[in-house]
Structure 1
């Protein structure tokens, strides 16, 4: 019997959460391994042997080690749940577009704004808010007439944008102006196997 996939994560990291969420949504056997970032566990020799960049998440699937949350989503989809990553060129390109959005404007907008309020990161809050508005506005516009970001069913595109978008209010980024984005988040949360990321008391979260 194959061993469970080992997910090295930090529970309040959206990058980690998107991997944990996807593993749960597709129902694969997995083990969560918490990395103590506060005490520098990500810089230990043991962890750096898995990911020389010293970042979570990292997964171990037998002898295979994969880092970078979006790369992990692609790997897991290709191996275990191909329905979550379209194989036709146009829709696959669209998925890649939203993986880039997750790694770009969402990471530098709502995710970075949350780093300021939750973790005290020395970043430019106004710049983060501006980038967040651009990213969320693009999502809102794209979702006109759509239930999912790509095609007619959920894909890893939806998983990639979920965690930091859903927790944007923790960085004082309001989702009130984006009803279609909020509806997408609700659809993701209603999927069988959904698991939430722990909330904090920062920002607009009560």
Structure 2
């Protein structure tokens, strides 16, 4: 199974992370995303006309959306990551998978402006990212009231992996995670999983602070 990969891409990282958690070995094919823009070259456009990475190849199958890759890796090697199959849990997983695209557009967009000097309205991107983080914080807090630590269940699913990287890298786009104690607890729970791997650049400052304490009125 080959992954066309850029080491500093959060979208590529989530696929590497899922593979590690599922015990799947990937053949990593590095892509010169920046500054070479290899993903816009003829060879990779033939695989993915959208001109984006990651790209996952497994035999004749070519996947170009990271959420589909997470589902494929889980189905192949670790089906527990797809949830229990109950209707409510399945719906929650799908909802958070869709939500992860908003994190990519907002927090990911702010990161590209700040780090790679891509054109963009940094203020608007940061505002959208903060709105998304508030929604995520509220969702995780509601789950904590149900006695669950993760987005869709009492155990992690592909929804958590879809959302984690762009949240963890929010400070790269000038958005602090300090106001979100439930998100920080969730991040610690994910980092504690067997098979978790780091991505270069992910901030671990909150690991050095006391564990956040939640109060009943912190919604």
Same fold (TM over 0.5): yes
Aligned pair 1:189/2:191, yes or no?
Answer: yes
Give the match for residue 79 of structure 2. 82
Give the match for residue 128 of structure 1. 125
Give the Cα–Cα distance (whole angstroms) in 1 for the partners of residues 128 and 110 of structure 2. Answer: 10
Give the Cα–Cα distance (whole angstroms) in 1 for the partners of residues 88 and 163 of structure 2. Answer: 19
Give the match for residue 95 of structure 2. 97
Alignment equivalent of 1:20, drawn from 16, 28, 31: 16
Aligned pair 1:66/2:63, yes or no?
Answer: yes
Give the Cα–Cα distance (whole angstroms) in 1 for the partners of residues 98 and 64 of structure 2. Answer: 16
1:118–1:200: 8 Å Cα contact kept in structure 2?
no
Structure 1, residues 80-124: CA drift from partner, whole Å, max 9, x if none? 2211112222211111111111112x1222111111111111111
Residue 84 and residue 200 in structure 1: after superposition, are their counterparts in 2 closer, same or farther (change >3 A)?
closer
For structure 2, list consecutive stretches of 5 or more residues without a partner in the other structure. 204-219
2:126–2:175: 8 Å Cα contact kept in structure 1?
yes
Give the Cα–Cα distance (whole angstroms) in 1 for the partners of residues 37 and 111 of structure 2. Answer: 20
**How many residues end up aligned between the 2 structures?**
196
* 1:60 aligned counterpart, secondary structure: strand
Give the Cα–Cα distance (whole angstroms) in 1 for the partners of residues 149 and 25 of structure 2. Answer: 28
Alignment equivalent of 2:114, drawn from 107, 112, 117: 117
Residue 200 and residue 161 in structure 1: after superposition, are their counterparts in 2 closer, same or farther (change >3 A)?
closer
Give the match for residue 30 of structure 1. 26
TM-score (structure 2 length as normaliser) = 0.85
* 2:4 aligned counterpart, secondary structure: strand
Give the match for residue 180 of structure 1. 182
Give the Cα–Cα distance (whole angstroms) in 2 for the partners of residues 123 and 85 of structure 1. Answer: 35
TM-score (structure 1 length as normaliser) = 0.91
Between 38-47 and 16-25, the greater mean CA deviation after superposition: 38-47
Give the Cα–Cα distance (whole angstroms) in 2 for the partners of residues 199 and 117 of structure 1. Answer: 14
Residue 85 and residue 176 in structure 1: after superposition, are their counterparts in 2 closer, same or farther (change >3 A)?
same
